[in-house]
């Protein structure tokens, strides 16, 4: 297993299979690359099926334990089931999707070996959903969640980005996962440094405090040092659910516990979500090229908050001059 200079083992990879998407969510930063919502037709620069598999085979050599397929919308790739099926058995596979294609494909994905799924759901009303996603596919998403549960992908984790337009929906989303068996909720802090519109950001600490008051118990997950809040467990009339907060902004603990390397849809390795100056080409994606690029990417990984960015005497984050002059 590869380890960076800060003692962080690399245990997972997050692979963007495409930048195409059938939604146009107002908060999207396209895996840190910016809102490049691509055309609906496949682009020539997307990694091929064999490119992705070669990368995963090399990842298995380095004892990578998990691979999450993302986009854009990864289910726009018609070869997704093939990619999942051909992923080395030692690597757990999961998917982040908007859910619209799950009604027709959830069972096939499970048959191919998919083990977990995250579905983006920012609101529980079609009108609010359309405002955020610029899509009228609310019913398709809800059907997709049901299809994932029916296919055996429980628990289905619902991804909700928390910002000015959605913060008021958090209580009803928390109740939703507490009232419906097989669902979990992942509240994701809005990242204005990637998505723009800093005025949309909310104080995520207030969300933590509110959830702590609502929860029956709280624990902490090793990955990214995330808090997990368990709600409805003490109510015999509710199945109960888990709510997790992903809060990377200004969070040195989050970065210190990051164990992932990212892959762009064009076949570049990316050591940090927050940076685009660290993109590393895998060339023609032969296995020797992938191995070399992977080793270099891990070796050059730096915690963004707490190292690449440091706090001044006023508590403000600034670039570490050591890396600016490097």
- On whether 27 is known to bind a ligand per the annotation, the reply is yes
- On whether 86 is known to bind a ligand per the annotation, the reply is no
- On whether 217 is known to bind a ligand per the annotation, the reply is no
- On whether 169 is known to bind a ligand per the annotation, the reply is no
Dihedral class, residue 269 (left if φ above 0, else alpha if ψ from -120 to 50, else beta): beta
- On whether 28 is known to bind a ligand per the annotation, the reply is yes
- On whether 260 is known to bind a ligand per the annotation, the reply is yes
- On whether 120 is known to bind a ligand per the annotation, the reply is yes
> Which residues neighbour 10 within 8 Å (Cβ) at sequence distance 6 or greater?
1, 2, 3, 4, 62, 64, 259, 260, 261, 298, 301
- On whether 258 is known to bind a ligand per the annotation, the reply is yes
Gap between the Cα atoms of 71 and 173, Å rounded: 24
Which residue has 């691509």 as its token pair?
Answer: 38
- On whether 16 is known to bind a ligand per the annotation, the reply is no
- On whether 228 is known to bind a ligand per the annotation, the reply is no
- On whether 21 is known to bind a ligand per the annotation, the reply is yes
Contact 122, 169 (CB under 8 A): yes
- On whether 275 is known to bind a ligand per the annotation, the reply is no
- On the 0-12 / 13-18 / 19+ scale of CB atoms within 10 A, 207 is buried
Which residue has 């990051």 as its token pair?
Answer: 258
- On whether 261 is known to bind a ligand per the annotation, the reply is yes
- On whether 14 is known to bind a ligand per the annotation, the reply is yes
- On whether 36 is known to bind a ligand per the annotation, the reply is no
Query: HSE on the CB side for 89, CA within 13 Å?
Result: 0
- On whether 34 is known to bind a ligand per the annotation, the reply is no
Gap between the Cα atoms of 287 and 61, Å rounded: 11
Q: Binding site: what residues are annotated?
A: 14, 21, 25, 27-28, 68, 72, 96, 120, 157, 255, 258, 260-262, 272
Q: Binding site for [4Fe-4S] cluster: what residues are annotated?
A: 21, 25, 28, 255, 258, 272
Q: Binding site for GTP: what residues are annotated?
A: 14, 68, 96, 157, 260-262
Q: Binding site for S-adenosyl-L-methionine: what residues are annotated?
A: 27, 72, 120
């Amino acid at each position: 297993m590869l380890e960076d200079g800060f003692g962080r083992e690399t245990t997972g990879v997050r692979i963007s299979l495409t930048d195409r998407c059938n939604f146009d969510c107002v908060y999207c930063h396209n895996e840190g690359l910016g809102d490049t919502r691509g055309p609906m037709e496949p682009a020539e620069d997307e990694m091929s099926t064999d490119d992705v598999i070669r990368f995963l085979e090399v990842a298995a050599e380095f004892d990578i334990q998990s691979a999450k397929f993302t986009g854009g919308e990864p289910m726009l790739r018609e070869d997704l089931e093939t990619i999942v099926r051909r992923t080395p058995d030692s690597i757990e596979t999961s998917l982040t999707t908007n859910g619209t294609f799950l009604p027709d494909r959830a069972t096939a994905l499970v048959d191919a070996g998919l083990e977990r799924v995250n579905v983006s759901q920012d609101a529980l009303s079609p009108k609010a959903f359309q405002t955020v996603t610029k899509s009228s596919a609310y019913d398709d998403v809800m059907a997709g969640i049901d299809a994932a549960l029916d296919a055996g992908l429980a628990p289905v984790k619902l991804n909700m980005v928390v910002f000015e337009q959605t913060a008021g929906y958090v209580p009803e989303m928390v109740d939703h996962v507490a009232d419906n068996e097989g669902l979990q909720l992942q509240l994701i802090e809005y990242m204005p440094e990637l998505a723009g519109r800093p005025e949309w950001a909310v104080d995520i600490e207030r969300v933590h405090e509110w959830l702590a008051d609502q929860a029956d118990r709280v624990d902490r997950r090793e990955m990214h040092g995330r808090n997990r809040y368990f709600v409805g467990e003490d109510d015999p009339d509710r199945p109960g659910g888990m709510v997790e907060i992903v809060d990377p902004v200004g969070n040195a603990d989050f970065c210190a516990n990051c164990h992932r390397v990212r892959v762009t849809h064009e076949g570049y390795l990316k050591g940090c979500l927050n940076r685009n100056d660290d993109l590393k080409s895998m060339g023609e994606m032969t296995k020797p090229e992938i191995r070399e690029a992977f080793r270099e990417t891990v070796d050059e990984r730096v915690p963004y908050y707490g190292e690449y960015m440091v706090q001044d005497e006023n508590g403000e984050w600034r670039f570490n001059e050591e890396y600016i002059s490097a």
